[in-house]
């Protein structure tokens, strides 16, 4: 049984999506999956499903019925489709609420986090090709906005907003890895679309500026800086970070250190093709790049200097 929250809520048994009941029952499952193997208080479930002013007198009973329905669904389908005891999910009562015990490997959120963490570690270790591969695998776990079917019904949970930020962070790390491998042409379209959708993410805009510059589009790279500066000033009254301003100056002055590295061949390709993959490329250059230079912009989670 597989649990999916990185997109519409789904529980898969083999290749079949299980029927999870009505909206409130699905919402209870969604919140429990956001905190797998942790106790979620009944008061938190009530607060997540109903604002205080609109909570019905029967709200607690509705949650109890939802839990009962979910227990039946999970138990019946696990018993029917999988060997007894083979990673069986359990929805148990534990004061002051409930806990959903689930094998972390069966939850897409956990797989995403594990692969993204491994990808960041490879990037920090100077292995951008391996990092890009892992980060692509991590992002492939996503099928759309997290719990989109529930959020579209008016729910607004901070955990879902947090997942969105983690997805954007993983995208930025992946772009950093791809750029370190010389794949600016490959990611340019994605970078452009995402930077337009997220105009206040300076790291992302810096990556777009670098990709455009490496594609020979200096004027467009400088236009991106102007656009970001305008958005930051209008939204927050702030100038771009020192890192982004420094990148703009380097692009303006054609800094040679911004030149693209040679595209690196992923380890999996080298293993498949042996020495041929590490020999000269069709252009007569080595196919494997030297370790990447330090990031041009402050990484996510650090406070950019202004």
Q: Give the count of domains, the chain.
A: 2
Instruction: Give the integer Cα–Cα distance in Å for 255 and 134.
Output: 31
Q: What is the pLDDT of residues 244-286, one digit of tens each?
A: 999 999 999 999 999 877 665 555 444 444 433 333 333 333 3
Residues 11 and 139 in one domain: no
180/124 Cα distance (integer angstroms): 12
Q: What is the pLDDT of residue 82?
A: 59
Q: Are residues 36 and 60 in the same domain?
A: yes
What confidence score (pLDDT) does residue 51 get?
77
The CATH number of the domain holding residue 219 is 1.25.40.10
In a domain, 76, yes or no: yes
DSSP 109: H
**Residues 147 and 79 placed together within one structural domain of the fold:** no
Report if residue 285 sits inside a domain: no
Q: Are residues 72 and 195 in the same domain?
A: no
Kindly state whether residue 38 falls inside one of the protein's structural domains. Answer: yes
| 99 and 128 belong to one structural domain | no
Q: How far apart are CA 241 and CA 228, in angstroms?
A: 11
pTM: 0.83
Structural domain boundaries enclosing 136: 108-278
Q: Does 296 map to a domain? A: no
Q: Are 306 and 241 in contact (CB under 8 A)?
A: yes
In a shared domain, residues 246 and 170? yes
Cis peptide before 96 (omega within 30 of 0): yes
Q: Is position 299 within any domain?
A: no
At 292, is the secondary structure helix, strand, or coil? coil
- Asked if residue 153 belongs to a domain, the reply is yes
Written as tens digits, the pLDDT of the chain (306 aa) is 999 999 999 999 988 999 999 999 999 999 999 999 999 999 999 999 997 778 999 999 999 999 999 999 998 776 555 555 556 899 999 999 999 999 999 999 999 999 999 999 999 999 999 999 999 999 999 999 999 999 999 999 999 999 999 999 999 999 999 999 999 999 999 999 999 999 999 999 999 999 999 999 999 999 999 999 999 999 999 999 999 999 999 999 999 999 877 665 555 444 444 433 333 333 333 333 333 443 434 333 344 555
Q: How far apart are CA 123 and CA 75, in angstroms?
A: 42
**Same domain, yes or no: 35 and 113:** no
Q: Decide if 195 contacts 224 (C-beta within 8 A).
A: yes
The residue with tokens 């692509």 is 136
Q: Which two tokens stand for residue 280?
A: 């000269």
């Amino acid at each position: 049984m597989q649990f999916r929250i990185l997109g519409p809520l789904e529980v898969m048994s083999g290749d079949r999506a299980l029927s999870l009941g009505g909206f409130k029952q699905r919402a209870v499952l969604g919140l429990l999956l956001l905190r797998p193997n942790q106790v979620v208080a009944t008061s938190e479930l009530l607060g997540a499903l109903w604002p205080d002013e609109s909570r019905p007198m029967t709200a607690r009973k509705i949650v109890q019925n939802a839990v009962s329905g979910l227990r039946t669904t999970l138990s019946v389908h696990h018993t029917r489709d999988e060997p007894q005891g083979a990673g069986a999910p359990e929805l148990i009562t534990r004061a002051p609420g409930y806990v959903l015990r689930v094998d972390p490997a069966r939850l897409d959120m956990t797989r995403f986090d594990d692969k993204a963490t491994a990808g960041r570690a490879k990037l920090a270790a100077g292995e951008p090709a391996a990092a890009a591969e892992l980060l692509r695998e991590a992002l492939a776990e996503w099928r759309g906005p997290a719990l989109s079917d529930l959020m579209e019904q008016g729910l607004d949970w901070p955990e879902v907003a947090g997942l969105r930020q983690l997805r954007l962070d993983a995208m930025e790390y992946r772009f950093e890895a791809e750029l370190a491998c010389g794949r600016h042409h490959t990611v340019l379209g994605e970078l452009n679309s995402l930077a337009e959708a997220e105009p206040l993410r300076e790291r992302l805009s810096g990556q777009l500026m670098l990709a455009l510059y490496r594609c020979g589009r200096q004027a467009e790279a400088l236009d991106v800086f102007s656009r970001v500066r305008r958005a930051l000033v209008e939204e927050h009254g702030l100038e771009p970070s020192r890192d982004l301003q420094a990148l703009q100056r380097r692009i303006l002055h054609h800094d040679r250190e911004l030149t693209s590295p040679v595209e690196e061949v992923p380890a999996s390709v080298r293993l498949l093709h042996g020495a041929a993959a590490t020999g000269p490329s069709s252009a007569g250059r080595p196919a494997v790049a030297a370790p990447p230079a330090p990031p041009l912009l402050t990484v996510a989670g650090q406070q950019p200097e202004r």
